[in-house]
Amino acid sequence: MDRLQTLLTNIDGRGYKAYKQLQGEYSFPGYKLRIDHVQGDPFAEPSRCRILIDHRTAAIPHQLYSNQTRRVALEDFFGRAFASAISKYVSGARGSGRSGEIIIAPYGQQVLRRNSVLIPDGSLELRFQVALPADGRTVLAQQAREMLFHELPQVVTASLLSINDSLAQAQTHVESVEDQQHLRSQLHENGLVAFIADGSILPRMSGIDDHPLPDAVPFVAPDTMALELKRLNQGPIRGLGIPLGVSLIVGGGFHGKSTLLHAIEYGVYNHISGDGRSMVVTEPNACKIRAEDGRAITGVDITPFINNLPQDKDTSSFTTQNASGSTSQAANIMEALATGSSTLLIDEDTSATNFMIRDRRMQALVAKDKEPITPLVQQIRGLYEEQGVSVILVMGGSGDFFAYADQVLMLDNYLTRDVTREAKELAGAMEPDATPATSIKHPTPRIPIRSCLSPQYRHNKDKVQALGTRRLRYGDTEIDLSRLEQLVDQGQLTTIGYLMRYYYNQFPDTEKGLVEVLEELLSMVETEGLDCITPYTTGTLALPRIQELTATINRMRKLQLQ
């Protein structure tokens, strides 16, 4: 502390680059402050720092991090506590640029594996950023002293050095996450693809606010499809189990169909207690499928859905820079199958109509050999019976799928009913379309040409920058992920960029398929930690799924295949 005080006194009023002298490690009561990298400018990315607390000082009960699920949950708890303390004790704006900010990676409603907080052996390491204050480009040492010797110790004491004061909250958080993981592990053995517990609050505040809607109608499972699953830390819990196969969610507009599907699609992640969806769990590889007009497609076999195009255009290795709604939705399904997704989630509101259905009048008017699209209604049974891929489909405008469904749920003012029997009766004598459909086979592996994955931007410098959760600047290109709905955190997208960079640097001559390599990389990260893919210490990463990682590369407009 004394050395840091002296350094700040010596550089007061000097040019901003004098802050570089602060790089190093300093001992404070109960913790060490390590300044890994000092920004060169008050408008630049803030300085990277760490708080290090010895296991004897941290005194974290071992049962709170006794397995991987609990460890991730406890790391998440400390990160959120640090963020909350920042908002309480840090005054913020001082001087030019971002001066005066103390920042940790943002936390949403999901509990993800991150590298902002690490608890390797009971010791505690927290990564954060400090925007060192300046007037123009002149060092403001007194204000820096206020941040590092007054505000930061208050933040650390309130969030990291007071585990005994927050033990009950930490335990509740950890046990809730562990229970969610245990519920998810029971899906397969019970023949389910998703489970929604009674009492869950599914509606959100708005499309841009992911918090639960106050006074929303709690979810209640219909008796005919209700079951109980076990929890490790609390008693059994009742809820709706959605079985393997083809499941329809129907009902009037604004009655909760899409809200239920959204909860299911985010059920691949654990959630914080109090989110309302903390007991909604889904198969981890479930993938949301939608139309995506304008996306790039490179070398994807879409023949099960699109074939016999005019001018004999080949669809067994389909490539376009501007996909239509139907071709994009077909490609999204085939790409999801390549990543091992065994559950597809589809909402008619975000689907191409001609991809979903083709009624009998249209079939009578337009001959089969003149229509290149084989709609999903003709392939949905084949997906399940040939590939074991279940589908949960929100449908409000067509009853054509009734004859193909294994179960039909109706949403009525956010209350759920099992209407399978009524739907089958309405289907009545209508036999499923006997038109032969193209057999759906597992997609052939695709191998990118290495050069197209280069992260180099200019002057041989790499560029990896996530802009929110929907755009990635990678090398000299920008990847649009605006319709990749299950990408929930900026840290996931940053990690995807670094994984792509690692792929480019470490797999120059591989003959392995894209998905196989990416699965190896994710396995490495899960074993060694997120730090193994970054060139420097950072706390901004969060673990993505193979589905979103592959989808990002698939949307590169300069992607080329061997």
Separation between Cα atoms, residue 69 and residue 48, nearest integer Å = 27
DSSP bridge pairs for 24: 35
Ramachandran quadrant class, 312 (left: phi over 0; alpha: psi -120 to 50; beta: rest): left
Structural element, H or E, at residue 5: helix 2-11
Q: What is the pLDDT of residue 460?
A: 84
Q: Tens of pLDDT along 142-177?
A: 999 999 999 999 999 999 998 889 999 999 999 999
Q: What is the pLDDT of residue 83?
A: 98
Structural element, H or E, at residue 467: strand 464-467
User: Alpha helices, DSSP H only, in 90-220?
Assistant: 141-146, 152-159, 167-185
* φ/ψ (deg, to 5) at 34: -115, 120
Closest C-alpha to 151, from 234, 91, 211, 238: 91
Separation between Cα atoms, residue 435 and residue 445, nearest integer Å = 29
Cα within 13 Å of Cα(276), Cβ side: 20
Separation between Cα atoms, residue 193 and residue 79, nearest integer Å = 31
DSSP of 413-449: TTEEEE-HHHHHHHHTT-PPP-S--PPP-PPPP--B-
Q: How many helices (H) and strands (E) does the chain have?
A: 15, 29
What number of other Cβ atoms are within 10 A of residue 282's Cβ?
24
| Strand bridging mode 134-135 / 138-139 | antiparallel
Ramachandran quadrant class, 146 (left: phi over 0; alpha: psi -120 to 50; beta: rest): alpha
Helix (H, G, I), strand (E, B) or coil at 535: coil
Separation between Cα atoms, residue 240 and residue 228, nearest integer Å = 9
Task: State which amino acid sits at residue 393.
Answer: L
Q: Which two tokens stand for residue 186?
A: 């029971």
Beta strand residue intervals within 244-290, DSSP E: 246-251, 270-271, 280-282, 287-289
Beta strand residue intervals within 136-253, DSSP E: 138-139, 192-197, 204-206, 209-212, 226-229, 237-243, 246-251
Structural element, H or E, at residue 456: strand 456-458
Greatest distance between any 2 Cα atoms in the chain: 89
Delineate the domains of the chain, giving CATH numbers in brackets. 2-165 (no CATH), 243-444 (3.40.50), 450-554 (no CATH)
Closest C-alpha to 199, from 274, 108, 111: 274
Q: Residue 15 in contact with residue 28, Cβ under 8 Å? A: no
Closest C-alpha to 294, from 559, 555, 558, 468: 555
**Per-position pLDDT tens, the chain of length 562:** 999 999 999 999 999 999 999 999 999 999 999 999 999 999 999 999 999 999 999 999 999 999 999 999 999 999 999 999 999 999 877 888 888 999 999 999 999 999 999 999 999 999 999 999 999 999 999 999 999 999 999 999 999 998 889 999 999 999 999 999 999 999 999 999 999 999 999 999 998 899 999 999 999 999 999 999 999 999 999 999 999 999 999 999 989 999 999 999 999 999 999 999 999 999 999 999 999 999 999 999 999 999 988 767 889 999 999 999 999 999 999 999 999 999 999 999 999 999 998 877 776 666 666 678 899 999 999 999 999 999 999 998 888 999 999 999 999 999 999 999 999 999 875 655 545 467 788 888 999 999 999 999 988 899 999 999 999 999 999 999 999 999 999 999 999 999 999 999 998 878 899 999 999 999 999 999 999 999 888 999 999 999 999 999 999 999 999 9
Angle, helices 167-185/68-89, rounded to nearest 10 degrees: 140
Separation between Cα atoms, residue 147 and residue 165, nearest integer Å = 24
* φ/ψ (deg, to 5) at 546: -60, -30
Q: What is the pLDDT of residue 170?
A: 97
Separation between Cα atoms, residue 9 and residue 141, nearest integer Å = 7
* φ/ψ (deg, to 5) at 457: -105, -65
Distance between start and end Cα atoms, the chain: 57
Indicate the DSSP class of residue 217: P
Beta strand residue intervals within 16-154, DSSP E: 24-28, 31-37, 47-53, 102-103, 110-111, 117-118, 124-130, 134-135, 138-139
Separation between Cα atoms, residue 351 and residue 343, nearest integer Å = 17
Q: Which two tokens stand for residue 236?
A: 């059994």
Q: Which two tokens stand for residue 460?
A: 């041989």
